[in-house]
Copies of this chain bind each other. A is one copy, B any other.
Amino acid sequence: MSKKRNTTLKELSKELSLSISTVSRALNDHPDISQSTKERVRKLAKQMNYVPNLFARGFRSRETHILGVIVPNISHLFTSTILKGILEEAELRGYRVIISESNNNEVKQVEMLNTMTQFGVDGVLMSLARKTTNVEEILKILNRIPIVLFDKVSSKIPCTQIVINEEEAAFNAVEHLIELGKQRIAIIKETENSYNSEKRYAGYLRALNQYGIPVRDKLILSTEDISLGNGRRLTNILLSMKKRPDAIFAITDNAAIGAIKALHKFKVKIPEEIAVVGFSNSINSTIVSPALTTVDQPGDKIGRTAVRFLIQELENPTNDVMTKTVEIKTSLIVRDSSLMV
Chain A residues 107 to 129 lying within 8 A of chain B, measured CB to CB, are: 114-115, 117-120
- The answer to whether B1 touches A318 (Cβ under 8 A) is yes
Given A97-B98, A287-B288: A317 and B53 interface contact (C-beta under 8 Å): no
Q: Tell me, yes or no, whether A146 is within 8 Å of chain B by CB.
A: yes
Partner of A144, one of B4, B76, B317, B318: B4
Among A54-62, A179-187, A210-218, which stretch is in contact with chain B? A54-62
Q: Tell me, yes or no, whether A88 is within 8 Å of chain B by CB.
A: yes
- The answer to whether A56 touches B54 (Cβ under 8 A) is no
- The answer to whether B1 touches A319 (Cβ under 8 A) is yes
Docked pose: A264 CA to B289 CA in angstroms? 11
Hey, which chain B residues are within 8 Å of A118, CB to CB?
Answer: 51-52, 54
Q: Tell me, yes or no, whether A74 is within 8 Å of chain B by CB.
A: yes
Hey, which chain B residues are within 8 Å of A54, CB to CB?
Answer: 118-120
This chain's copy number in the assembly: 2
Hey, which chain B residues are within 8 Å of A59, CB to CB?
Answer: 53, 55-56, 59
Docked pose: A3 CA to B121 CA in angstroms? 11
Interface 0/1 of A281-322, CB less than 8 Å to B: 001100111000000000100000000000001000111110
Residue on B nearest A146 in the bound complex, by CB:
B1
Residue on B nearest A81 in the bound complex, by CB:
B75
Interface 0/1 of A222-246, CB less than 8 Å to B: 0000000000000000000000000
Docked pose: A271 CA to B84 CA in angstroms? 38
Q: Tell me, yes or no, whether A83 is within 8 Å of chain B by CB.
A: yes
- The answer to whether A120 touches B74 (Cβ under 8 A) is no
Q: Tell me, yes or no, whether A172 is within 8 Å of chain B by CB.
A: no
Q: Tell me, yes or no, whether A100 is within 8 Å of chain B by CB.
A: yes
- The answer to whether B84 touches A101 (Cβ under 8 A) is yes
Q: Tell me, yes or no, whether A194 is within 8 Å of chain B by CB.
A: no
- The answer to whether A75 touches B83 (Cβ under 8 A) is yes
Docked pose: A5 CA to B318 CA in angstroms? 17
Hey, which chain B residues are within 8 Å of A87, CB to CB?
Answer: 74, 99-101
Q: Tell me, yes or no, whether A137 is within 8 Å of chain B by CB.
A: no
Docked pose: A146 CA to B2 CA in angstroms? 9
Residue on B nearest A285 in the bound complex, by CB:
B287
Hey, which chain B residues are within 8 Å of A101, CB to CB?
Answer: 84, 87-88
8 examples of A-B residue contacts, CB within 8 angstroms:
A1-B143, A1-B319, A51-B117, A53-B120, A55-B64, A56-B59, A75-B80, A96-B98
Besides A4-B144, A87-B100, A284-B287, 12 other A-B contacts (C-beta < 8 A):
A1-B146, A1-B319, A3-B62, A51-B117, A53-B59, A54-B118, A80-B80, A84-B101, A87-B99, A97-B98, A98-B99, A99-B99
